[in-house]
Chain A
Amino acid sequence: MDSRMYVLKFPKATIDQPIICNLMKLYGVEFNILKADINRQQEGLMVLELLGHKAKLKEGIRYLKELGVGVERVASRIGRNDDKCFQCGACTGICPTGALALERPTMAVLFDREKCSGCGLCVAVCPVRAMTVTLDHSAL
């Protein structure tokens, strides 16, 4: 089983279709919705974790893309400025997925973007504003 975080962008025309439901039925891909901003008048935005066999996931993503849904990995939308970060570790207390975590015993602050759900809690907690998360509509 593979699991990855994705940002999906739904064009206006697809808003009335049960796309995620079909994704599950047709490809056996499980999903966990982390953020959803669906509006009839605009493009929709969804952040979700997809779980499934690698091949099935690939097929599922192709299905989404064929429908015109923008698919992007959350990992490509987040970043840490390592020049700014001074490895204090304040973010590790607030990160819900363990993407930001302390390595012991060195106490180095590790950042595993693959585990990040893009929640953005770390952005304001970071004392030097080293974290960037751009999942909003304008960024897509």
Chain B
Amino acid sequence: MSHMKINKTIAEINEKIKTGQAVVVTAEEMVPIVKEHGPEEAARRIDVVTTGTFSPMCSSGAFINFGHTRPTTKASQVWLNEVPAYAGLAAVDIYIGATEASTDDPLNKVFPGEFRYGGGHVIEDLVAGREILLRAVGYGTDCYPNQKMEKKVTLADLPYALLCNPRNCYQNYNCAINLSDKTIYTYMGTLMPNGRNATYCSAGELSPLMNDPFYRTIGLGTRIFLGGGIGYITWHGTQHNPGALRGENGVPKRPAGTLMLQGDLKQMSPRWLKGISMQGYGSTMAVGVGIPIPVLNEEIAASTGVGDEDIFTQVVDYSHDYSHGIARNYGEVNYAQLKSGCIEVNGKKVLTAPLSSVTRAREIAETLKNWIVKKEFTLTAPVQPMPSE
């Protein structure tokens, strides 16, 4: 990076954080700073930009070890509040996935299903400190003779609980419409017929990977805000696709990069992990994530200065194209247009609604900023960069 005029290191920024001299702003606050002073001056003035996002992220869940029973059990099937957990691990290790439905859920038998309680709700109940009914059966072995157990547990009773989300923080996402003649119920919400409404799901300029489009500072090992506590990026996420179509500013115009995130569930909060029900689709979980970006040089400053009007996404039909894997779109729109409440598709005005909470994304970016200003949080250099092409 010797061709840069500003060259800072993460160690230098951490030193500034420790002495209370670091200048930290949110990604939203960075937009006018870069616009007004240019990337070079912004890089000189600002040390850290904090980002945030809070929205449904289906590929989420938790590894739990629930401790040994007496006599011992090799649990082969486990339910938490009647939501099945994956038990094909060691005797008392399980994984509860956010989209797992409760065993007695009518699903879509009466369409559209309500999906009131699932894995995401179990995780929310746990972090809220509520009691969960843990039920397990085993087939019995010489070393694990017990074949049945049932007990009420709280998160505090569990020896180990790790939030482990294989795919979070999608770098951009589709804007969904429905061009058929009947209402459809999707993971992008309820879409009215004949393109009468559109939904989108990104915090735009506040969203983490929009501000570091080529993963120059965000990588394996990065310490982050996760579910109200501290977490880490532990790999790139499933479906990570850095090769997606990008704009001139480098920001993807299609769903692109993703992150795998982990953190100790016991220090998280129900305000930032919420079980949710998407009518006709299923249950899932909204996850709060915030990632700090060290402003090492003017290039990174320019990236963090990206505004909603510079970030574009494609309009996709979810009634036919998406469900049939047809790569077609009905034009591109930017996040300033999406957030305005109205976009134009096929020459027609279409009302938009978000699924990602901007006010909560802002709150996360502010919280992370406060942690850094109060010297409670320092930055980490990636152990290894994520695939960027």
Residues of A within 8 A of B (CB): 86-94, 102, 104-109, 124-125, 127-129
Contacts and interface: CB of A to CB of B under 8 A. Distances in A.
Contact of B359 (A107, A127, A129): A107
B98 to A, nearest CB: 12
Nearest to A101: B341
Contact of A87 (B56, B341, B357): B357
Contacts of A105: 339
Report, nearest first, the 3 A-B pairs whose CB atoms are least far apart: A93-B353, A107-B358, A127-B276
Most buried by A among B55, B197, B279, B359: B359
A97 B374 CA distance: 44
22 contacts: A86-B54, A86-B274, A86-B360, A88-B356, A88-B357, A90-B189, A90-B199, A90-B353, A90-B354, A91-B353, A92-B354, A93-B190, A93-B352, A94-B190, A102-B354, A107-B354, A107-B358, A108-B359, A124-B112, A125-B189, A125-B279, A128-B277
B351 interface: yes
Say what secondary structure dominates the interface of chain A: loop
Contacts of A92: 341, 353-354
Contacts of B216: none
Contacts of A109: 359
B279 A124 contact: yes
DSSP majority for the B interface? strand
B125 to A, nearest CB: 13
B285 to A, nearest CB: 10
Contacts of A94: 190, 192, 197, 353
Contact of A89 (B56, B277, B278, B357): B357
Contacts of B357: 86-89, 107
B310 interface: no
Interface in B353-368: 353-360
A104 B341 contact: yes
* B interface, size bucket: 20 to 34
Given A93-B189, A94-B190, A107-B354, A127 B278 contact: yes
Interface in B175-199: 189-190, 192, 197-199
A10 B287 CA distance: 47
A40 B245 CA distance: 63
A60 to B, nearest CB: 35
Contact of B277 (A88, A102, A108, A129): A129
Interface in B96-112: 112
B286 interface: yes
A110 B155 CA distance: 34
A105 B28 CA distance: 12
Contacts of B56: 127
A127 B282 CA distance: 10
Contact of B351 (A91, A93, A124, A127): A93
B190 A125 contact: yes
Interface string B271-306: 000111111000000100000000000000000000
A92 B355 CA distance: 10
B344 interface: no
B148 interface: no
A93 B199 contact: yes
Contacts of B339: 104-105, 107
Nearest to B283: A127
Contacts of B197: 93-94
Contacts of B199: 90, 93
Nearest to B192: A94
Looking at A87, A93, A106, A129, the one whose CB has the most chain B CB atoms below 10 A away is A93
Contacts of A104: 339-341
Contacts of A102: 341, 354
Contacts of B274: 86, 128
A44 B129 CA distance: 45
B29 interface: no
Nearest to A88: B357
A117 B341 CA distance: 21
